[in-house]
A = this chain, B = another copy of it.
Amino acid sequence: MLDHIMQTTLLLDEIKCRHNIAMMAEKAARNNIRLRPHFKTHQSAQVGGWFREAGTTGITVSSLKMARYFASHGWTDILVAIPVNIREMALVNELAAKVQLHLVAVNIETVQALAEQVQYPVNLCLKIDTGYHRTGILPHSHEELDAIVTLMEQSDLLQFTGVLAHDGHTYKQTDADAIRTIHHTTVFLLNLVRDRYKARFPALKVSIGDTPSCSILQHFSGVDEIRPGNYVFYDLTQQHIGSCNFRQIAVCMACPVIAKHPERNEIIVHGGSVHFSKDSLATADGSLIYGRVVDLSENGWSAPLEGIAVVSLSQEHGTLRASKALFDRYTIGDLVGILPVHSCLTADLMKGFTLHDGTQLEHLSGMGR
């Protein structure tokens, strides 16, 4: 199969990927909680099919456009986990007409606009800022929370269904205890908010969603639903955090060697920021890497090699620095396997996946504008 790869290609290991999907499904089942996986990492109808085979019925996406894509592939229970863009109300209504649509409420203005303009039932979760400070309502903002809840209560079409958080700050941690502390703080705060409204809304759910917490924790008391996404592929960032080991990383770039520089042991591959994105990872000595190198074989790849890494990216070029011994192993025209730092962005840029048998899987970003 490798002989048929002519260009920079994103390989997907179906076995590893299905294993990751099954692992999280089993963990959710063991805890008797709902798994609503985030599909922004793969954005692929076919990978979505693997989730369906593993029992997934409800999904999470990060834009209305992504919701429309998966709705067109038969998904009927979709949470759009980003504050609603009220300029896209026509699309909200288009989706609400045909699927069970869940949106997040982060401010009164948006809920007001929804209350006035939705034409079909829409489920709303309160997004609570439990410490990440990107977006969400602070858990002690009782006045704002009460006003939004009252507005939902008065609407015939808006259903208040739960409270939700995204602990993006776990991605900055590399210590399991730090991640557990963040998780438990979030669960505590979400339950405080739920408890404020549970007399009026007895069915309210608590939903959390980051891959580090969902990977590291084994027990989820106080939680009804988890929404991890990156675990479908994992990547070097998640390995660095401690969410996975290298063997669980299910995607790998195959990049042709286009130049070699023996005077500085650098290898140039066709694979730059338009393929990988510019996300980097700091190493122990403070230098940044943009990917780690593996040996490719017909049906997989090795653990990362020591003594070689991607040290810089420009638009189309990637620069690898190697030990002399590793430098000498590569020839112009060879394919180098590179594990990505951030699989979500790499998949978005590569616009599709190639399985070990050569099968091509689609990605929403490859479907035109």
Contact = CB atoms under 8 A, between A and B. Distances in A.
A273 B352 CA distance: 18
A222 interface: no
A167 interface: no
A263 interface: yes
A304 interface: no
Contact of A5 (B87, B335, B344, B368): B87
A71 B93 CA distance: 42
B368 A315 contact: no
A303 interface: no
Interface stretch (A27-35, A186-194, A238-246, A274-282): A274-282
Given A107-B332, A345-B315, A352 B366 contact: no
B263 A138 contact: yes
A interface bracket (residues with beta carbon within 8 Å of B) = 35 or more
Given A315-B344, A317-B135, A106 B259 contact: yes
A273 B312 CA distance: 18
A72 interface: no
16 contacts: A40-B315, A40-B316, A63-B270, A84-B258, A107-B259, A107-B332, A113-B333, A134-B319, A135-B259, A274-B348, A278-B278, A278-B279, A315-B344, A351-B368, A352-B369, A367-B368
